Chains A and B, each alone.
Chain A
Amino acid sequence: MNASAFHLGIEAVFSLLVLALLLSAPVPAADSSLSRLQLLQKQQDLLAVWVAFGNPDAETMRADFVFVFPGRAGIIGFAGDKFEINLPPEGCTRSTASARYLDGTLRLREITLTVFC
């Protein structure tokens, strides 16, 4: 009969459950950094320069990409073609920006720039 002293009432069980829930709750990581904005700005810079200086060729764009994002992987889409720079690691996040412009013959063109991780 004395063992009944160790029985837990419903409030104690409930409290323990709440505590367990609190302890197991994942804490989301707060991203207060402006690094994503900085990445996007650099992507937009590349696109702005390519568009402003007209008729960029694949080699120039590839060289500019390597200069601005050394060691990073990316994909440049231009005039219906897509070319990759380095191989993106598995499960890597990506950031894509694009620019549309009228070329010398007044045809609408689009350049897409994707940067991984």
Chain B
Amino acid sequence: MSITGRRGIVFSFDLLIAFIVMCLILCLILVNMNLRADSAVSAQRSFALQHAALSVADTLVQNADLNNPALGSAYFGEDKRRVFGNVIDGTLLAKADFAGISLGKGIFLKEVSLRYKSGEYGQIHRSPLPAGSCTAAERFVVVKGAAIAKGATEEKAILTVVACEGGI
């Protein structure tokens, strides 16, 4: 009786510790999964914002669309019959209407601007909608034919596209 009792106690302690440790491990796994899920949701939002800004900037810099310059304002060289990537047609970009661009649920285009190497700043679009968190994509371009420095036909600039959450 006494031997059985003692053995039982020893066994119970081991089991108890193992059980507590197992519960702790399960608890840690659940906490970890929760943290990962939270960070994944946050990263997904941030990724969507960055993706939207990068996509708009890329399409502006690489494509030319004379009918809808918001989808591409790259310079089209008539002599070579091709679009010049990273060369912005300033006149075309000035005509672009970004208000109608939809970047997905809860994301909108807050600002499109050019910061010239000469220090001048040109705002192409600015949305009046209230914004949450924002992200900016920058591209280095050469702007042709815009209202740039007097006498110059082209000027280097940074094209900035800002995408924000919100807009409701």
Chain A residues close to B by CB (< 8 Å):
1-2, 4-9, 11-12, 15-16, 18-19, 22-23, 30, 32-35, 37-38, 41-42, 45-46, 48-49, 52-53, 63-64, 67-68
- Please list 24 pairs of residues, one from A and one from B, whose beta carbons are closer than 8 Å in the complex, sorted by A's number: A7-B13, A8-B13, A11-B15, A12-B13, A15-B18, A15-B25, A18-B25, A23-B28, A30-B39, A32-B47, A33-B46, A33-B50, A38-B50, A41-B58, A42-B139, A42-B140, A45-B61, A45-B141, A49-B86, A49-B141, A49-B156, A64-B140, A67-B117, A67-B156
Find B54's partner among A11, A37, A67 (CB 8 Å cutoff). Answer: A37
Residue of B nearest to A37 (CB): B54
Sample of 16 further A-B pairs with CB below 8 A, known A11-B15, A34-B51: A5-B10, A9-B14, A12-B21, A18-B21, A19-B25, A23-B28, A30-B43, A32-B43, A33-B46, A38-B50, A38-B54, A42-B138, A45-B141, A49-B86, A67-B158, A68-B138
Chain B contacts to A: CB under 8 angstroms: 6, 9-11, 13-15, 17-18, 21-22, 24-25, 28, 39, 43-44, 46-47, 50-51, 54, 58, 61, 84-87, 117, 137-142, 156, 158
In this complex, what residue of B is CB-closest to A20?
B21
Closest to A35 in B: B50
* CA gap between A29 and B15 in the complex, in Å: 36
B-chain residues with CB within 8 Å of residue A68 when the two chains form the complex? 138, 140, 158
* CB neighbours of A23 from chain B (8 A): 28
| A-B Cβ contacts below 8 A, count | 96
Question: Inside 8 A of B156's CB, which chain A residues have their CB?
Answer: 49, 64, 67
Instruction: Enumerate chain B residues within 8 angstroms of A19, measured Cβ to Cβ.
Output: 21, 24-25
Q: A38-B137, A45-B139, A68-B158 are in contact. Are A7 and B10 (CB under 8 A)?
A: yes
CB distance from B33 to the nearest CB of A (A): 12
Among candidates A1, A15, A30, residue contacting B22 with C-beta atoms closer than 8 Å: A15
When C-beta atoms are compared, the residue in chain A nearest to B141 turns out to be A45
User: How far apart sit A7 and B9, CA to CA, in the bound complex (Å)?
Assistant: 10
